[in-house]
Structure 1
Amino acid sequence: MKGTVAGINERFSRMIILTDSGYTFGIGNVEYMQLDHIITGDLRSSGTELLTNLTSGDDFVLDIEAYDCDKESALMLLNQA
């Protein structure tokens, strides 16, 4: 499954990825991520996944905590303290 990075919270190492099924929310090293990067992998999983950033060619680990979210829910998860 492919998705596009739609939001990054560097302070809390969080990101949201827009997929055809909604938004995926996860926690991981977002230091090298940028908006609009294309991500591939199992974006509809609960737990730790090894994903690929097709834009940069790098693999990374993301702890997926929610998927198929609407935009409002994804933004709330991204920005909660």
Structure 2
Amino acid sequence: MNGRIAGINEKSNRMIILTDYGYTFGICNVDYMQLDNVIAGELRSNGTELLTNITSGDDFVLDIEAYDCSKEAALSLLNAD
């Protein structure tokens, strides 16, 4: 499955990815991530997934905490304190 990075919170290493099913929210090292990067891998699971940033060619680990979220829910998770 592919998705696009739709939001990044650099202070808390959080990211949301827009997929065909809604938004996936997770925690990872976002230092080298950019908005609109294309991400490939299992984006509809709870737990740790090894994903590929197709745009940069790098693999990374994402701790997925929610998937198939609405935009409002994803933004709330992304910006939670």
TM over 0.5: yes
TM-score of the superposed pair, with normalisation by structure 2: 1.00
Gaps of 5+ in 1: none
TM-score of the superposed pair, with normalisation by structure 1: 1.00
Identity fraction in percent: 75
Cα distance in 1, alignment partners of residues 56 and 48 from structure 2: 20
Gaps of 5+ in 2: none
Is residue 66 from structure 1 mapped to residue 66 from structure 2 by the alignment? yes
Off by >2 Å, runs of 4+ in structure 1: none
Cα distance in 2, alignment partners of residues 80 and 20 from structure 1: 24
Aligned residue pairs total 81
Q: For the aligned residues, what is the CA RMSD?
A: 0.2
> Which structure features the higher share of helix residues?
1
Give, in angstroms, the shift of residue 53 of structure 1.
0.1
- Please give the residue correspondences for 1:1-81 in structure 2 after superposition, counting only pairs within 5 Å: 1-81=1-81
Q: Deviations over 1:8-48 (max 9, x none)?
A: 00000000000000000000101100000000000001000
